[in-house]
Chains A and B, each alone.
Chain A
Amino acid sequence: MFADGSEWELGHDHAQECDSCGAEPGTIHIIRIEDGEFVHAHLCQSCAEEAAGGGADTDIFFAVPTALAGMLGSLLSRPAPLFDSRASSRKSMCAVCGSTLKDVEERGMLGCPACYQAFSRHIEAALGGSEAPGHVGKQPSHGRPALEQRREVVRLEHMLKELVDDERYEEAAGVRDRIAELAELVAEEN
């Protein structure tokens, strides 16, 4: 009923330019009532505040932020951060799950925990740049055993799937054996 609020996922998470000024990203979905009809617009924070404060506040039905995941994707269409060129940034890939920045853009989601390292600069920029606040709050209190081996298993599982898709069965069999060895090792350590 009220958990998650996903009833308001509006089906287009990708941020676009502000409908009003066209300069800033439109980070807020605004639903207005105009002549008895719902009208949907995307505004930046300052244009939204202006619209809300300009005496016309009665016609804003509601306002919710667009998903940040969309902003992560839209970074590709803005000037490339630092010295990274757009082409090479599109090719950067997570070594563990195989997700590319293009995948992340399309899905609005990262592929695995290691993606946070692989795409750290993009995530940093999407979350507000270097002055973005870091994590404050609870931290894990337990160790995480066999992290490296488990990461290798996931990497190999991804490789295995691609080999099978390409019908390279002999190589796949070798990878499968290696996964079994590692899995045994992880099981022992746990």
Chain B
Amino acid sequence: MSADLVFAGGLEMSRNDSVLPFPHAAEEAQLTEFLERVERVLETCADPGDWELTPMDSLSPGLRAYLVERGLMTPAFSRETDPWKGFGLYRGGIASLEVNGRDHIRLMVSRAGEVLSGLWSTLDELDDVLESGLGFAYDERWGYLTARAEDAGTGLRAHSLVHLPALMVTGQLGSVAVKLIGKGITLSPVWGGAGGLFQVSNKGGLGRAELRIAEKVDAVSRQLAEQEHAMRKRLLEENPVQVRDYVGRSLGVAQQAWSMTVEEALGLISAVQSGVDMGVIALDGFTPASAFALMRRVQPGHIAMEELGEPDAEVDDPRFDEVRARLLRRAFGSARTLDRRE
């Protein structure tokens, strides 16, 4: 139940060729050759058609943004345009692959509303396929070797996205974050904290096996979600007028505005979701999962690809703000604030 505020999660695994210099230190020719090797391995070792591998110079800006928003591409990699960097998609998005980014290989899976430990077997199997054809840098002491020493070991990064607006506005998260760092877990705001979204992730790849890392991030995320629920309850009990006023005003804007930025939209969706959760707003079928889906749909990449169908649209196109406002008007059209006595 309380895990419903854990919106999404993913696993990323970094691997490197056993001999070649890491991408930042390698020659173009070495990287081009490595990309070709990956292509051959995907063709011969995986089932035909499972993987689509594309050089980064052929992806449109809208598609890049969309892939980042879906957790299929890392933000840093999405800015790359060199032809020797490649992006692979597995069965339409079950998993994805970055070739010649910070490390030679970064394999990723990500899902909305699923526990991380459940994603491990998918990642593990795909890694086996790649490893059988490529051979990865590995050392008894340091595990899988990576460009940054801090990632060595499992090479695994587990991350989940948690909706914590009440803990954020009450100033609880700074101290929580400091305590978590001591336990090898990082809590950081996503989109500068807009909409109260935070990412929980592990730090460092040594001393803990993959499944344990995933379970740890799962457990911390669930705990935070529980604390968030408790804080929402307390906020409403202690400050009913302010909470109702804030949530009600947000709903009013969401239902009536004709143009809005991503940050504003995320804040409004977040407020309405909290309102529904606290029983202050009635909106049939609006679950935390629908709030997350809407938070994705208002992002620039999603608007370019799904609403406008224009992969080359510039992200500062003024139509984006209009489309975004329309999405909120539609989603919240039938919502209403509930009176205290209802």
A residues bordering B, Cβ < 8 Å? 1-9, 28, 30, 32, 45, 48-49, 51-53, 57-65, 67-69, 72, 96-97, 99, 107-114, 116-117, 120, 123, 126-127, 132-145, 147, 150-151, 153-154, 157-158, 161
Q: In the complex, are the beta carbons of A1 and B296 less than 8 A apart?
A: yes
The majority secondary structure among interface residues of chain B is: mixed
Q: What is the count of residue pairs linking A and B with beta-carbon distances less than 8 angstroms?
A: 236
Q: In the complex, are the beta carbons of A45 and B181 less than 8 A apart?
A: yes
Is B319 at the interface (CB under 8 A from chain A)?
A: no
Q: Please judge, given known A-B contacts A60-B178, A138-B124, whether A157 and B30 are in contact too, CB under 8 Å.
A: yes
Q: In the complex, are the beta carbons of A52 and B159 less than 8 A apart?
A: no
A-B contact pairs, 11 of them (CB 8 A): A3-B74, A6-B74, A30-B178, A57-B174, A59-B174, A109-B24, A112-B25, A113-B16, A142-B131, A147-B19, A158-B21
B170 CB, nearest partner CB in chain A, Å: 8
B residues bordering A, Cβ < 8 Å? 8, 10, 12, 16-22, 24-25, 27, 30, 68-77, 102, 108, 110, 124, 127-128, 131-132, 135-145, 147-150, 152-154, 156-157, 159-161, 170-175, 177-179, 181-182, 186-191, 193, 199, 201, 203-210, 296, 299
| B20 neighbours in A (Cβ, 8 Å) | 112, 154
Q: In the complex, are the beta carbons of A57 and B171 less than 8 A apart?
A: yes
**Cross-interface CB contact of A137 among B68, B135, B154, cutoff 8 Å:** B154
User: 10 other contacts beyond A1-B68, A138-B154, A154-B21, with CB at 8 A cut-off?
Assistant: A1-B299, A45-B182, A49-B178, A123-B142, A134-B140, A134-B206, A136-B208, A141-B131, A144-B135, A144-B136
Q: Please judge, given known A-B contacts A69-B148, A138-B154, whether A3 and B206 are in contact too, CB under 8 Å.
A: no
Closest to A58 in B: B171
A151 and B70 CA atoms in complex are apart in Å by 38
